[in-house]
Amino acid sequence: MTNQELKTLLSISIIEDIMEGMLDVVGTSDMEGRITQINNAVEAWGYKKEDLIGKPVSEFIAMRSLPKLGDERKKTLEMGAVRNLELIGLRKAGSEFPVLVNVTLLRDSEGKPGGRIFAVRDITERKPAGEALREREKQYRAIFNAAMDSFLICDSRGNVVEVNPQACKTYGYSYEEFMKLSGKEVVHPDYYPLFEQFLRAVQTTGEFHAESVDVRKDGSPMNIEVRGRMFDYK
């Protein structure tokens, strides 16, 4: 055995040890999608890794995710890798669960595509938390839209980035028109200095409270109470 062959065997052994120590399901497949190597983590899904060798990766992917899996193969060839692809996994017993998939194209010594290495993570515990967050977001959005007070959300420069329906009704602008305005454009000119004070205050102390005068779309003034607070908006 040559030194080069010995180094290759040692490298393969090290890689296999690393794979077996991972909690994610990690493996390789040929260009037709047949599994050539996979670690023991797949046994948590009810499979024996020996039984999966030579079978398609789709063996543990739910049927409804197969179209996305097909798209992944095309993208991997075009881009060399696919990251954070959400699919539905399939346990051997038949139950489904959400998974996150990362795939990288493998190339031979001549640079030609020779297969893929994939990592599949069970995200069952993460998914309910995300769904709960989206549900809370819907609830807050419903409260925001139903409020009888006018709400204007501005960025740090004072540009309007969101308004509720009551604000549109009060000021006389459509939602689309509001999205093109600076908050200063609905303030009475005599109160421009107060608006600048408002921007500085919410960025330094996080809060602002004052009485002011704003202007409707038709030019009519209205007395208002301003309550501002700094928060992250995405």
Cβ count near 144 (within 10 Å): 15
With 0-12 CB in 10 A as exposed, 13-18 as middle and 19+ as buried, what is 27?
buried
Where is 51: in which H helix or E strand? Answer: helix 49-52
Regarding predicted confidence, which is higher, 132 or 18?
A: 132
Domain map of the chain by residue range?
3-124, 142-229
* Topology at the third CATH level for domain 3-124: Beta-Lactamase (3.30.450)
| pLDDT exceeds 60 at position 80 | yes
**Can 3-124 and 142-229 be said to share one CATH topology?**
yes
- The average pLDDT across 16-44 equals 82
* Topology at the third CATH level for domain 142-229: Beta-Lactamase (3.30.450)
Percent of the chain topping pLDDT 90: 56
* 177: amino acid identity, one letter: E
Q: pLDDT at position 14, please?
A: 40
Regarding predicted confidence, which is higher, 59 or 136?
A: 59
